[in-house]
Structure 1
Amino acid sequence: MVNLKRTRDDVLLAVLDLIHRQGFHSTGLKELLSSSGVSSGSFYNYFASKDELGHALIDFKWSKLKLLLFSVRQLDAIAQLFQMIDQLEAIHQAEDPCAGCFLGNLIVELVEHNPSFRQHLIQVFDEWQQEIATLLQAGRAQLKPEIDPDRLAQQLLSAIEGALLLGRLYDNPQRLRHCLDGCRSLLKSSLHD
């Protein structure tokens, strides 16, 4: 007999796209239950509140994204950064319509709602920035001497998030590509000729 019991990760995966497309506040409990296929009792067994669900989604999405973008270290750290941008572009070009960065969208929607979301998202974006900085440090020999890897990491992450936000706004694959090409140009301009 097949076990139909949904795990916590199953529920998170089931509601992630719905919240990504509709927004956290715009998605009601009835929609969450329908999308996840669990009863309200099971849902509240996993998440004591909708805010707790929000925090769980932040961790769940970041763990998936981090695994995709940073789990396999390459010999060429700079090439890995270009690959990171390429992977982000592929993910968002495959969306129809482009929904932007899930984590970035939550910044806009949740940081004023509850201070704990601000702190949680700061922690995630600081970690993402540090992952980029670590790769830049590893590829330091390819960078111009005046380039500060930590500052460049901050600039790259800001440019990526801006590109994904505009990707959602315009929902235009060509525009998204041009914005992410700006991220690639920023990285290229930091390298030795």
Structure 2
Amino acid sequence: MCSPAIECRAREASGMGRASKREEIAEAAFRQFHKRGFNATGINDITKAAGVPKGSFYNHFSSKEESALEALSRYADTLRFDLLTTPDLPPLERLRAHFEYLSRDTVDNGFVRGCLVGNFGAEIADHSEEIRAAAKQGFDTWAHRLSAVLAEAQATGDLDGSLDTETTALFILSAWEGTLIAARVDKSPAPVDAFFELVFERILR
């Protein structure tokens, strides 16, 4: 859903303000997974990116899978859900602002990363129950937030009251995930433009 510019969590600091080893490794893992995918990312890639010895990884994470679960949590923090609740802005404008932020990041990063939740879901959901469950929770939470905004739009009379907000939210999120895949293949913003045209100019009118 998504592929926003990385906004790091507040770093755990030492006495000199330097990020902790765990934070450095977790952040490096997040970036490597988002850039390379789960299977193409090795422990060596993570520790090299973090600038720490390989043995340091296992001082903080029991496995690559555990660090991937942490990466999913970090990714959720980059999705700018706050844009969905901006005060004094109509619901559908908030919804559009959310996806405009994600689309700008997708274009600015050259269509190479996609959505980490969708990437993990496609790549390893059949092989890791923990990651599948975490990805599902991520999608469910995201869809619930979108549904809440659509319900607000219905309450203000800006959206057809006959639309089922949960079904519509799930469709929009699924369409966005497909848009990211198409944009990565096409290496152009055309799929993104089509998403906005269909969702905001037709479905949600």
Q: TM-score range by the shorter chain?
A: 0.7 to 0.9
State the Cα deviation string for residues 75-104 of structure 1 (Å, max 9, x = none). Answer: 311101111111111010011353211221
Match of 1:144 in 2: 160
TM-score (ref. length: structure 1): 0.86
Q: Higher mean Cα deviation, 160-169 or 38-47?
A: 38-47
Distance 2:97 2:158 in 1: 16
Q: Measure, in 1, the Cα distance between the counterparts of 2:55 and 2:87.
A: 42
SS of residue matched to 1:124:
helix
TM-aligned CA distance change 1:81 to 1:162, over 3 Å: same
134-143 or 10-19, which moves further after superposition?
Answer: 10-19
> Which portions of structure 1, spanning 4 or more consecutive aligned residues, are displaced by more than 6 angstroms?
none
Q: CA RMSD in A?
A: 2.2
Q: How does 1:86-165 map to 2 (within 5 A)?
A: 86-140=100-154, 141-165=157-181
CA contact (8 A) 2:111 2:187 kept: yes
**Structure 1: any 5+ residue segments left out of the alignment?**
none
1:181 lines up with 2:196 in the alignment:
yes
Separation in structure 2 between the aligned mates of residue 94 and residue 53 of structure 1, nearest angstrom: 26
The structure whose residues are more often helix, as a share, is 1
C-alpha displacement of 1:115: 1.2
Name structure 2 gaps, 5 residues minimum: 1-14
Residue identity over aligned pairs, in percent, reads 24
Residue 14 of structure 1 deviates from its aligned partner by 2.3
Q: Distance in 1 between matches of 2:162 and 2:85?
A: 29
CA deviation after TM superposition for structure 1 residue 49, in Å: 0.7
CA distance, structure 1, for counterparts of residue 46 and residue 140 of structure 2: 29
Q: CA separation in 2, counterparts of 1:97 and 1:161?
A: 13
User: Matches of 2:21 and 2:195 in 1, distance apart?
Assistant: 36
Query: 134-143 or 41-50, which moves further after superposition?
Result: 41-50
